[in-house]
Every structure is written in C-alpha cells, then in structure tokens.
Structure 1
Amino acid sequence: MNLGGGALFGSVAVAGAAFYGLAATRVTRPLLWDRFYDHVIWRGSTASPARFALSFDDGPDPENTPPLLDVLERHGARATFFMVGKQALRNRSLVERVARSGHEIGNHSLSHRRMIFLSRTEIEKEIDAGADAIRDAGGGRTSLFRPPYGLRDPRLLSATAKRGYRVMLWSVMPWDWTRPPATWIEGWLRLRVGAGSIVVLHDGGGDRSATVEAVDRVLPALRERRFEAVTLSELIERPA
C-alpha cells in the first residue's frame, strides 16, 4: 500500500512532532522517586557505533506478532518483547518463535493491570505470576520488567529491585497504541531515534498493522544512518 511520497511524509512528521512533542515529553519524564532506584532505565549507551532498541508491549498476539517477526527477520533486526503472562500462555508457539528467533523477552506483568492501584501483595503477584507464565510458555527467565502503561510507584520499584529486575522504560514513544497511520509512526521514529534510544511500540492490544508497516519502512532508513537495532540487554550492557 502506497502511503504517500516525500512531501506527504515531511508534512506528517514535522506537524505531528510539533503537535505531540510536549505530551510525549511528559510521558517519558522520570518521576521523583525514580532517582532513588538505580535499576530504572530510560535509555542505553550513546557509544559508537550507534545502537538503539525496539521494544514491543502487550503481546504476543496471533494477528500482529507473526508479521512483525517476519519484518524483523527480513531486516536482520533484534528486538525485545514485553509479554503479558496471560497472552503468553494463550500463544505458546509465538513465545517459542520469539525466543527461537534471537529476540529478547521481558515481563509485562500477568494481566496488564494498573499496578499503582493495587496492594503490595497484588503487585508482587502480578510480577511473579507474569514471570511464571512466560517461563511456562517457553520464554525462559527474564531480568527485564516493564510496568503496564509505564505506571510505577516506590512499592513496585522496591518489589522489582528485590527480585533483581531492571525496570525498562523508554525514551521514544510514537503513540502507536492510539492507532495512527503508519506514516505518522515512521515519521516519529525517523525524527526521534538516536544512539541509545529505547523505542516502545506494541504488538498486542488491537490492530497493529500500522506499527508493523512502519517498522518495515523505517528500519532500512535507520540502517542507512548506520543505526543497528539490538535487544535491550545488548543496548544497556554496552560499555559507555
């Protein structure tokens, strides 16, 4: 499907960045208590050669995850999938395919609840049961956790620290969960991705065909700028 040429792309990207820039900054700004926990991570190393990380939340999903995996394989890109435990149990073959394809798997809780509104016991259950479900579905053990919606408080941060997790947030969010067109997602990524960027996208929670198309279109453009898409662990463990 042809979504327009250079002029359309430029107008969509620039106008969109201006309109949503302030809101995105608010979403990705560290919270007061984040500074007291050294396991909360927003971005990776800016060392050369330039690397960035694509991450996908809310899956795996039988409609969205397979074509996304095809796109990543075609472009030789690695990514990190933050899986919801219940989704992992429903889609075991996809969990196994993600792992087999060389991608990384992270814990996105058992059932994708807003954890700041839960009791401490419920928070711990969401974390632990999510990890158990992902492991039982063939995803192995993970040391990465991303709270649903990015919502976190000192109780969640303490619970994840106690369990040895790194809480992985993000520095680039193109709002794909609002289902914008692929040109919007592509434009946002072209403008915002840099060395050490952590990009949050989604392969669950509804129709993500625009996300898949945008990733397919933007990866060659970023490669031309000598950016390499790697897993989150590869990104954050690279020496500065």
Structure 2
Amino acid sequence: MNVRSLIKPVARVITAPVGSVRGVWTTESHAVLTFDDGPDPDGTEKVLAALAEHGATATFFVLIDRARRFRTLLAEAVAQGHEIALHGIDHRRLTTLPAAEVYQRTARGKAELEDLLGMPVRWFRPPFGAQSIGTWRAVKRCGLEPVVWGPTAWDWLDLPVDDLAKRAMERMSAGSVLLAHDGFAGDPDLAADQPAPRFDRGELTTAVLDGLSDRALRGVSLADALRTGSLQRWAWFKS
C-alpha cells in the first residue's frame, strides 16, 4: 500500500465539512447514473428509452433555460421514475461570477424548477464541475447539496460509442457516480460555436448499461441508491 492510498481516506474525512457528493457508500450492487445538460428533444428521448429497456433509473441535472422549453420531456422523465436535479439557469461556469450572483441565480433556478416539477429539488451540479469555496457556500445557502462525480463517459467528445462506453467503465464500481449527458450545452463564455457530438446518446446509454450488467451492477438514480446507502462527501474545488 502506497502513501497516497493511506492519506486519501483521511483527507476525505477531514474535508467532509466542505465536501461535495462524489459517491454512495452501499452494500448493494448499485451504480449511480447521472445525466447533464438536458432536457434535449433528441438525446433525452433516446436516453429515457434505453433506461426503460434496462429497468434502470437516473438523476437528470437539468438547465432551466431548456426545462422551460421542453416541459413535456421533464414530465416524461418524472413519470418514468427518474429524479430531477438542478444544473443551473444556464451553463455558465459559476467560478467566473461573484458568489452573491451565484446565490441569486441558483436560488432562482431552484425555485423555478420546483415550480415546474411540483416537488422539492435536493441536488445541484455545477456546470463543468467548476466550484470554489464561495460558490459551494452559495449553493449550500440555497438548500441544495452539490454533487460531482467519479467515472465519466467523456461524452462531450465526438468519439465512437464503444470508446466512450469503455471510458465510462474504467473506474466503475458499486457506489460510483457516473457523469454522462443527455444533451450538449458547451461553454456560453466562448465566442466560437462548439459543435455538438454526433453519436447516438441512446446507444451510449445502452452500452453503459450492458457494461454494468457484465459487472453485476445496476444503474440507479441517486435517490434510489440512498434508499439503502449513504452519501460519500469530500472536497472538490476547481476553476
């Protein structure tokens, strides 16, 4: 056992008071599926179909500017037993904004999403995972729990589905939180247009779910994982 593997668990305990959710402690064969940047009329429909076919659930971190336009997709996800969480008013990187503005935007987004859903919202994922102490505090003041991730599908890149699924499975184990996307938002602070990847997000979701099945894991939402598990929290700060 190397020094890093000894220090890591201690660091997680020490940083837990300013921690973000990065996994679930569980004795079940659960892997948490999360999808960002929707709802999207193309990607979300395909992801929902793949999840339904496999009897899986997921947590969808939605953007308010898209939730307003695609309310039917939002309602469809809820009707199928999925969990809805907040990703932001839009896809701005919060670390570029004053903490007071982060608080105002997040509080406004939470209120509007709860109004759209008719139910409370518990989770928040910062766009790009960009988070400082100031933005973390602002989000917590809104009554939301910051959620980041472990494994990622790297699905903002336009690569073959098999390659993306392989990347998604690299660090996957029980209790992992997987970052994937049912839409593509890009970075609104960049002047140049950013083309969306062209692969089929439903096919990628199916490939990931098949990979989980091969490892005797089941894809579930964060809420479903917490029926028998508990949150893993540790510090996550990046620009």
Whether these two folds match at TM > 0.5 is yes
- Give yes or no for contact 2:103–2:142 (8 Å, CA) kept in 1: no
Match of 2:30 among 29, 51, 65: 51
Query: Secondary structure at the residue paired with 1:130?
Result: helix
Partner in structure 1 of residue 17 of structure 2: 37
Report how far residue 175 of structure 1 moved: 1.1
Q: Which one-letter code corresponds to 2:15 in the other structure?
A: R
Q: Which one-letter code corresponds to 1:63 in the other structure?
A: D
- The CA distance in 1 between the partners of 2:135 and 2:170, in whole Å, is 32
1:105 has 2:71 as partner = no
Report how far residue 177 of structure 1 moved: 0.8
- Give yes or no for contact 1:39–1:165 (8 Å, CA) kept in 2: no
Query: Secondary structure at the residue paired with 2:212?
Result: helix
- The CA distance in 2 between the partners of 1:123 and 1:139, in whole Å, is 24
Aligned residues: 208
Alignment of 1:221-236 (within 5 A): 221-236=211-226
Report how far residue 207 of structure 1 moved: 4.4
Q: Which one-letter code corresponds to 2:114 in the other structure?
A: R
Gaps of 5+ in 2: 1-10, 185-195, 231-239
- The CA distance in 2 between the partners of 1:235 and 1:222, in whole Å, is 15
Match of 1:218 among 208, 216, 223: 208
1:183 has 2:173 as partner = no
Report how far residue 236 of structure 1 moved: 4.2
- Give yes or no for contact 2:125–2:148 (8 Å, CA) kept in 1: yes
Q: Which one-letter code corresponds to 1:43 in the other structure?
A: G
Gaps of 5+ in 1: 1-30
Report how far residue 168 of structure 1 moved: 0.5
Greater percentage in strand = 2
- Give yes or no for contact 2:102–2:139 (8 Å, CA) kept in 1: no
Q: Which TM-score applies when normalising by structure 1?
A: 0.79
Report how far residue 92 of structure 1 moved: 0.5
Greater percentage in helix = 1
Deviations 1:45-67 (A, max 9, x none): 1x333111110001000111011
Q: Which one-letter code corresponds to 1:71 in the other structure?
A: A
Q: Which one-letter code corresponds to 1:211 in the other structure?
A: R
- Give yes or no for contact 1:42–1:168 (8 Å, CA) kept in 2: yes
Question: Percent of pairs identical after alignment?
Answer: 30
